[in-house]
Amino acid sequence: MTTPNRFRYFSTSREIIQLVVMLYVGFPLSLRNVEDLLHERGIDVSHESVRLWLQRLGRKRLV
């Protein structure tokens, strides 16, 4: 049985979403800190998008 694609409804790439969740869960960062770190890397993502991704794809769901 195949696993469902959890990223199919997002317009942002899977790698960026995984990086965002990894940064937030792995380090003591706020949503705005994650937004700033991504902005320094040239990725324009709002803190609200980060919050929604974490809500839908939180720590338990990515494993």
26 or 10: which leads in pLDDT? 26
The predicted model scores a pTM of 0.74
Task: Identify the pLDDT of residue 62.
Answer: 46
DSSP type of residue 41: T
Task: Identify the pLDDT of residue 25.
Answer: 86
Task: Identify the pLDDT of residue 44.
Answer: 92
pLDDT band per the 50, 70, 90 thresholds, residue 57: confident
Q: For the chain, give me the number of helices (H) and strands (E)? A: 4, 0
Residues 6+ apart with CB under 8 A from 6: 56, 57, 61
Query: b/e per residue, 23-39, with b = 16+ CB within 10 A?
Result: ebeeeeeebeebbeebe
pLDDT tens per residue across span 15-52: 888 888 888 888 999 999 999 999 999 999 999 988 98
